[in-house]
Each structure stands twice: as structure tokens, then as C-alpha cells.
């Protein structure tokens, strides 16, 4: 079970995690990246990097200085510029944004005031905003989410590489005993009511009773997806929904994003480098329509969100739902998270991160598309603002689960829910299949 730390320990954790997130943000907006590219827009789907940088500081000021600490607004005149709901991404380059130097100075000043005011804010109150440090966890997660968005922007860049592969850990590779795992019929608790930093769309915990089903032991690999391509999967309307077939015809896509066929070899562009597609890594940069078509071609389907979560969290021995597939505490070395690598790992790694059912890589490597539309759970209550979740509810969005190699451990857990349009491919998305018993 989750054990609440003391208030002093929680404040030390908050200060450390705020610093860690900021180091990551600055690392993605400095270094070898040419200065003009901070203000340029590489795609209408993405903001200029300098917008993301100032936005995380403005969000931090709104919630940690004004709302939590009651401090007078520092730069109220820029609130509109960095309100994600006032200006769509495509028009943000036209706004009078802060320069890179001014953005860094602004977010540094905000951070200094946040750390100073942290000593005076109480976490042991009845205010749901500050109780358990919720609003601080929300801000830390928000910055890490934008860091992942900035990584997607880097991937869309066409210039010289600005991010370098670091030496990765030596990962043991163990054989995957079976291609799929049986999850027996029965109830489990989906979502959470007591995770202090969980978002509103993860709440409340509620019992869901599922029939038995099979789910893939690991995400679909590049090699498996290549067989779908070679079998004419993109040219056979049997495998596509009507909307998916329309997308396929209008987009002209015939492979995952960033893939190119050179002779007889598939290569991919990854952060400015062109390399052969690694056959045993999880496929990524596929949209929901592609994932759904592959699953139909394979004689399977995408798992529902509930099926994904039961396979990830339920412990049949205790009847409890874990925070992570392996248990309630985060442990290093059990998942590919946190930008330690700039790609998924090969099949057979992270055996120690398997769930109670033996399903692997449910956390990390790639976001996994599910078949479920994004809605609130029974008893959902919007908190602390509707624009985080509620305004996105509807059939236009599909749920993704599990996080990717680019997701920070603090910004994902077994109950965490992501969502996006079914056409999106710039995100680090893959999938696994399921089938009914």
C-alpha cells in the first residue's frame, strides 16, 4: 500500500523533483540546438520550443505562486500568450512570445519564489489543492509532459542532431515464454481514489468485471509490423475501419512515421540520424488507425482500456490493484522510462517489470493505443480545472496507456490515462493486441 511521507520529507521530494524537471526542460532547449530553432515552428502540430519553456513557468506561477501560496501575479500580461486553450499551436509563432533569454529569466524567477514559498505552504490541510502536495505533483508532472512534447518536436526537426544517444544500461534479455497471456474472468479495481498525485480522470477507483481474454505479452515489434506492410496491409480495406481507410487514402501513408524504404531495407529517421529499423524494438509513431488495422490483420483486436489496466495492475493473489505492474513502489531498472534512452528497448528486456499475469513492458517503451474512447469514470469530478480532462471527453479521442521511453516515472503509473486523436503519429505511440477467449 502507498505510505504517506511526513510533510518535511514530502517538501524535500517536491523541491528535488521540481529541480529535476527543470534540468530536463533546460537540457531540451539549450546545448547544440541552434538558437533560431527555439523560436521556429517545425510543424503546425507543435509549439515553438520557447513557447513550451515559458509555458511551464507560467503554469507554475499560476498554480504554485498564485493559487497555492497566494502571491501577487508576476506577469499577468503574458497569461493569455501561454494559455494553451486561447491559442492553438499553429498560431503560437505569430504571438509576441518571450525571447529565449527572457523565458529562462522568467521561469528562474518563478522557481526561486516557489522554493521560497514552499516552506510556508501546508500540506496537511483539508484543501484538496495542497493536501498531500497535490498541486506540486501536478506541476511537476505537467513540466515532464511538456518535456515529452518537446522531444516530439525534436523528432520532427529536419536539421542536424541536437540530442545525442547516451550509453544505455546493460539490459539482460530473457526469452518471452509465450506470445500472449490469458487473463481470467473476474472483477478488479480500475482507477484510484487514494493516489495523492493522480489526476481527476484516474478517479474514482471503481470495480470492473471483465470476461476472460488474451493479451500480448509484449508490444508489437517493428519486425511484426513490417510483415503487415509486406502482406499488403495498407492496401487491403478489410483491415481498416471506414474512418481509417479514409485516413489512409487521404494521407498516403504506407508505413509508420519517419520510416523510408531504401532498396530492400527499411530505415528510420530518429532525432536527425538515419538508421536501419531495429527489428526487435516495439514499433512506434503509428496512429490508432494503423494499430487497429494491424490487429485486425493479425486476427486480434486492440485491448480495451479496462483490459489493459487489469493486465497491468491486478494482483489475483491479493485482489488488489498495484500502482505499477510489479508493485506499489517505483523501482529503477524495471521499465524504460525517463529519457535514459532515445528509443524503445528490444524484445525480451525488463522481465522484472512484468505484471502479476506475466505481461511485460506495460509501463515504458511506447504509449499503447487502446480501443476505448476517452470519457470520465463513473462518479468523475473535474479537479482542479475542466481543461485538463473534461473538455476532451468524447469519441474524438482514443485512450493511450503505459507511457513511453520519453515519459518520466513521476508522470506515469498503472492508472494514468493519456489520450489523443486517432490520426496522431508524432507521439511515441505503439500498441499490443488482445483477443477474446
Q: What is the CA radius of gyration of the chain?
A: 22
Q: What is the largest CA-CA distance in the chain?
A: 64
Element (H, E) at 420: strand 418-420
206 has binding-site annotation: no
276 touches 262 (CB < 8 A): no
Cα 20 to Cα 25: distance, rounded to the nearest angstrom: 9
Cα 366 to Cα 220: distance, rounded to the nearest angstrom: 10
268 touches 260 (CB < 8 A): yes
Element (H, E) at 291: helix 288-297
Cell 517538501 sits on residue: 11
146 has binding-site annotation: yes
Cα 60 to Cα 122: distance, rounded to the nearest angstrom: 17
197 touches 137 (CB < 8 A): yes
What phi and psi values does residue 57 have, to the nearest 5 degrees? -70, -40
92 has binding-site annotation: yes
Element (H, E) at 183: strand 180-183
What phi and psi values does residue 140 have, to the nearest 5 degrees? -60, -45
Cα 361 to Cα 359: distance, rounded to the nearest angstrom: 7
322 has binding-site annotation: no
DSSP secondary structure, 79-147, as one string: TTTT-TTTS-GGGGGGS-PPPHHHHHHHHHHHHHHHHHHHTT--SSSS-TTTGGGHHHHHHHHHHHHHH
Cell numbers at residue 367, please?
504509449
Cα 86 to Cα 67: distance, rounded to the nearest angstrom: 20
424 has binding-site annotation: yes
CA distances from 436 to 80, 183, 188, 190, 312 (A): 48, 10, 18, 19, 17
- Would the CA dihedral through 263, 264, 265, 268 be positive or negative? positive
Q: Residue 327: helix, strand or coil by DSSP?
A: coil
Cα 322 to Cα 354: distance, rounded to the nearest angstrom: 12
Binding-site sequence positions: 55, 89-92, 142, 146, 420, 424
Binding-site sequence positions for Fe cation: 55, 142, 146
Binding-site sequence positions for gamma-L-glutamyl-L-cysteine: 89-92, 420, 424
Amino acid at each position: 500500500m502507498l505510505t504517506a511521507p511526513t510533510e518535511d520529507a514530502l517538501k524535500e521530494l517536491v523541491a528535488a523533483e521540481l529541480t529535476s524537471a527543470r534540468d530536463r526542460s533546460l537540457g531540451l532547449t539549450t546545448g547544440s540546438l541552434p538558437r533560431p530553432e527555439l523560436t521556429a515552428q517545425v510543424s503546425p502540430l507543435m509549439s515553438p520550443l520557447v513557447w513550451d519553456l515559458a509555458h511551464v513557468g507560467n503554469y507554475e506561477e499560476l498554480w504554485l505562486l498564485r493559487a497555492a501560496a497566494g502571491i501577487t501575479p508576476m506577469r499577468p500580461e503574458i497569461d493569455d500568450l501561454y494559455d494553451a486553450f486561447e491559442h492553438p499551436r499553429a498560431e503560437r509563432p505569430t504571438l509576441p512570445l518571450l525571447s529565449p533569454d527572457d523565458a529562462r529569466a522568467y521561469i528562474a524567477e518563478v522557481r526561486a519564489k516557489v522554493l521560497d514559498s514552499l516552506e510556508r505552504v501546508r500540506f496537511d490541510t483539508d484543501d484538496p489543492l495542497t493536501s498531500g502536495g497535490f498541486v506540486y505533483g501536478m506541476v511537476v508532472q505537467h513540466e515532464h509532459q511538456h518535456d515529452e512534447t518537446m522531444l516530439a518536436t525534436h523528432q520532427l526537426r529536419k536539421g542536424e542532431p541536437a540530442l545525442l544517444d547516451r550509453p544505455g544500461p546493460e539490459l539482460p534479455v530473457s526469452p518471452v515464454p509465450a506470445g500472449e497471456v490469458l487473463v481470467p474472468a473476474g472483477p478488479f479495481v480500475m482507477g484510484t481514489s487514494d493516489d495523492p498525485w493522480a489526476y481527476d480522470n484516474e478517479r474514482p477507483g471503481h470495480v470492473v468485471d471483465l470476461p476472460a481474454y488474451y493479451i500480448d505479452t509484449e508490444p508489437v515489434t517493428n519486425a511484426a509490423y513490417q510483415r503487415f506492410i509486406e502482406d499488403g496491409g495498407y492496401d487491403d480495406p478489410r483491415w481498416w475501419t471506414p474512418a481509417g481507410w479514409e485516413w489512409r487514402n487521404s494521407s498516403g501513408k504506407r508505413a509508420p512515421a519517419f520510416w523510408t524504404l531504401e532498396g530492400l531495407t527499411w530505415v528510420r529517421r530518429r532525432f536527425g540520424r538515419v538508421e536501419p529499423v531495429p527489428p526487435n524494438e516495439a514499433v512506434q509513431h503509428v496512429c490508432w488507425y494503423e494499430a487497429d488495422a494491424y490487429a485486425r490483420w493479425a486476427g486480434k483486436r486492440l485491448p480495451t482500456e479496462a483490459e489493459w489496466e487489469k493486465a497491468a495492475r491486478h494482483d489475483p493473489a491479493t485482489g488488489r490493484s498495484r500502482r505499477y505492474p510489479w508493485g506499489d513502489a517505483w523501482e529503477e531498472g524495471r521499465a524504460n522510462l525517463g529519457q535514459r534512452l532515445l528509443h524503445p528497448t528490444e524484445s525480451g528486456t525488463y522481465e522484472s517489470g512484468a505484471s502479476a499475469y506475466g505481461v511485460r513492458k506495460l509501463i515504458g517503451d511506447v504509449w499503447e493505443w487502446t480501443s476505448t474512447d476517452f470519457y470520465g469514470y463513473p462518479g468523475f469530478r473535474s479537479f482542479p480545472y475542466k481543461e485538463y480532462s473534461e473538455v476532451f471527453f468524447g469519441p474524438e479521442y482514443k485512450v493511450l496507456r503505459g507511457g513511453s521511453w520519453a515519459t518520466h516515472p513521476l508522470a506515469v503509473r498503472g492508472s494514468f490515462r493519456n489520450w489523443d486523436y486517432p490520426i496522431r503519429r508524432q507521439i511515441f505511440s505503439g500498441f499490443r493486441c488482445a483477443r477474446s477467449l
